Amino acid sequence: MTLIQEMLEVARPLDDVFAFVGDFANTKHWDPGVAEARKITEGPVRSGTRFELEVVFNGRRLPMTYEVETWDRPNRVVLRGEGSTVRAVDDIRFEHVPGGTQIHYSADLRLKGPLRLLEPLLRKRFDETGRAAMAGMRRALQLRAHQA
């Protein structure tokens, strides 16, 4: 198991931040480790909504399917992901703070099969991936602020 935990604050309203980050189809706009992302369930995002992502790791594009497990607007979204080599649980919490929103992002990654043995060796790489995703999220949210 690899647990990635990151926190950031952005000068954007809580509802806007939750709507953008909670819709996992937007990960392609902020996570450099996601090449493609789309919602495959009709209707608004809610518990049970599913997303297909193509993640990039070590130069390989790997398909993953995520499902919203918890949708507590505008406070928390939990997504469970599954791919051929990894299982993931992303727990994202949002909190209003003076001047904007604080985001607490936790990702629990578990490699499958024999790859589990590589988890300790990949810890640094997973941490770098998490930091890059949060930096991308900050940039995307700031860009949205300038476009509004």
- So what's the pLDDT on residue 63? 97
Joined together, the tokens standing for residue 118 give 């590589």
- So what's the pLDDT on residue 111? 78
Written as tens digits, the pLDDT of the chain (148 aa) is: 577 888 999 999 999 999 999 999 999 999 999 999 999 999 999 999 999 999 987 788 999 999 999 999 999 999 999 998 889 999 999 999 999 999 999 999 887 876 655 565 566 666 677 678 888 888 898 876 656 5
- So what's the pLDDT on residue 148? 55
Rounded to 10°, the helix 119-147/14-22 angle is: 130
Where along the chain do its domains lie? 2-147
Of residues 7, 37, 13, 23, the one with CA closest to residue 133: 7
How many other CB atoms are there within 10 angstroms of residue 7's CB atom?
Answer: 12
Domain 2-147 has CATH 3.20.20.10: no
Q: Which residues pair with 97 in a beta bridge?
A: 100
